[in-house]
Amino acid sequence: MTKPTFRVQPASALARQRRAQRVLLATIFLLFALYLVGHAFFGPRQAASVLPLSAAWADEAPAPASAARAAAFATAAAVPANASETTRAGAASQALSAAASPDLVKRGQYLTRVGDCMACHTADKSRPFAGGVPIKTPFGTIYTSNITPDNETGIGRWSDTEFLRAMHEGIGRDGKRLYPAFPYTEYTRVLPQDVLAIRAYLNTLAPVHFTPPTTDLKFPFNQRWLMVFWNLLNFDEGRFVPQPSQSAAWNRGAYLVQGLAHCEECHTPRNLTEGLKSGARFAGAAQEGWHAFNLTSDKNSGIGGWSEDDIVSYLASGVAPGRANAAGPMAQVVADSTQYLDSVDLRSIAVYLRTLPPVSSGESRPRDGWGQPANDVTALRGQAPTGAHGAQLFVANCASCHHWSGQGIGASAPLAYPSLLHNSVVGASSADNLVLVILKGVQRTTRHADVFMPGFGEQLTNDQIAALTNYLTQQFGNPQTWVSAAQVQALRAP
């Protein structure tokens, strides 16, 4: 029997390996040092002065918020020592609410809605702003944090400086880097007085003692210090500075869209590192199956054909008559955020969006430019129903609300059933949103109307939904759009 042999690595090879490791570590350290030096000397600077845009700018000084917080902590300290932590936190919150300027708190509530903080920080409606919403990424699942003023599980003990640092630099109270699922890359542009107004409002909320699940990312993405290098590639820290050559409305719109509203986070495609592609800003992107459409001024791929009134109507009510009806994540944005914006801010956003440089995705016609009325109902009379016949499925499941012709019922009234002709979802080059609407339905509650469409995911098979979708796109939408049963199954999966 031949004895096994063991290869011993030569000393020279070991030495080369150790040298390579030292070189790698030195390179990482050098890159980090260069980042710090570059940020210190060449990083973005906050403007010494900010041009007045409109009465909508917040002009509160940060001092009242800090003074109010000091008073709140003093009140909490006066609570008997045997009182629970929740009691102390509640006393501090009440004192802060009473001490803070009512105008500042009101302003903060408005800005919190602009930022749609509710959507990402409320997993359970009975625990508003207590976090726990799962955000799925290619690297694992991130759970949002508790931003109520609870001292143990929320941000009750955070100082103004720590809150500003998190919003502007993506660094938490403990000094750890935040993951960009929290859009500090956009919030960095928000002026300090607006950030502190949000802080003042959050401090008036009822403290919720709740610890969200632990974020679960794969190695090495669970190493937060690596965010230093991600930031080098994808993050420019600095506040918004108005452009003197533009109007006050344009600057206000740019400030909101680029900052608190963080529209790019959903409407801009991402690069290999999950940062935003700077060369395709607002060109549209997929988000958990849904497609956030192109917002640029391209007349076919984007919203270049939309008027200011169209954009304002869509953001205020979820409906741009004859063009689009908000569904999925955008319906939630309208319900929780944009419907509460005042007319000045809505108009300013519309002014800014209409000036975005056009980015074409290759569409030959606008999404809302397709469709002819159907007359299949006459031909179907007397026919026996089959399993996956698109026209039959439409008449049986959709025609009672959208009319057998597809032209809808109720014209443009708030509670109208929308037309499928000249409809952005039906006319899109991707059928994903249309499939998801059929699967999950639509629920959108605004001051204008309570819109509800039932989902058919439990009643119709993948083959039937594919057949129905393809009938809708062929008859009322983009005839080049087609979907398979396998694609329906992929979208159906959680």
Task: At 392, list the tokens.
Answer: 């039959």
In a domain, 13, yes or no: no
- Pair (68, 205) in one structural domain: yes
Number of domains comprising the chain:
3
Gap between the Cα atoms of 301 and 429, Å rounded: 9
pTM: 0.79
- Pair (181, 146) in one structural domain: yes
CA dihedral (278, 280, 286, 292) in degrees, to 10, reads: 110
Please state whether beta strands 319-320 and 140-143 pair in parallel, antiparallel, or not at all (unpaired): unpaired
Residue where a domain stops, chosen among 186, 206, 234: 234
CATH number reported for the structural domain that contains residue 403 in this entry: 1.10.760.10
- Pair (257, 225) in one structural domain: no
- Pair (135, 228) in one structural domain: yes
DSSP state letters, 366-385: -TTS------HHHHHTTPPP
In a domain, 358, yes or no: no
DSSP tally for the chain: helices H, then strands E: 20, 9
- Pair (157, 74) in one structural domain: yes
Strand-pairing partners, residue 286, are 291
Q: Which residues of the chain have pLDDT under 70?
A: 1-100, 382, 411-412, 414-415, 494
Residue among 265, 266, 240 at smallest CA distance from 253: 240
- Chain centroid, CA 101 distance in Å: 30
In a domain, 45, yes or no: no
Strand-pairing partners, residue 172, are none
Measured in degrees and rounded to the nearest 5, phi and psi for residue 291 equal -105, 115
- Contact yes or no for 294/301 (Cβ under 8 A): yes
3-state SS of 27-42 is: HHHHHHHHHHHHHHHH
Strand-pairing partners, residue 409, are 417
What's the N-to-C CA distance of the chain in angstroms? 57
Residue where a domain stops, chosen among 296, 321, 353: 353
pLDDT for res 55: 35
In a domain, 190, yes or no: yes
Domain of residue 302 covers 248-353
pLDDT for res 310: 97
- Pair (80, 208) in one structural domain: yes
In a domain, 441, yes or no: yes
The residue type of 40 is A
In a domain, 370, yes or no: no
Residue among 265, 287, 280, 276 at smallest CA distance from 233: 276
- Pair (402, 257) in one structural domain: no
- Pair (215, 119) in one structural domain: yes
- Pair (230, 270) in one structural domain: no
- Pair (257, 399) in one structural domain: no
The residue type of 316 is A
What is the tens place of the pLDDT at every residue in 163-217?
999 999 999 998 999 999 999 999 999 999 999 999 999 999 999 999 999 999 9
Measured in degrees and rounded to the nearest 5, phi and psi for residue 313 equal -65, -40
CATH number reported for the structural domain that contains residue 308 in this entry: 1.10.760
Residue where a domain stops, chosen among 181, 200, 234: 234
What is the tens place of the pLDDT at every residue in 373-427?
998 877 787 677 777 899 999 999 999 999 999 999 886 676 689 999 999 999 9
In a domain, 43, yes or no: no
- Pair (220, 338) in one structural domain: no
- Contact yes or no for 329/290 (Cβ under 8 A): yes
Gap between the Cα atoms of 200 and 103, Å rounded: 10
- Pair (199, 255) in one structural domain: no
In a domain, 386, yes or no: yes
| Cis peptide preceding 220, ω within 30 of 0 | yes
Gap between the Cα atoms of 204 and 154, Å rounded: 13
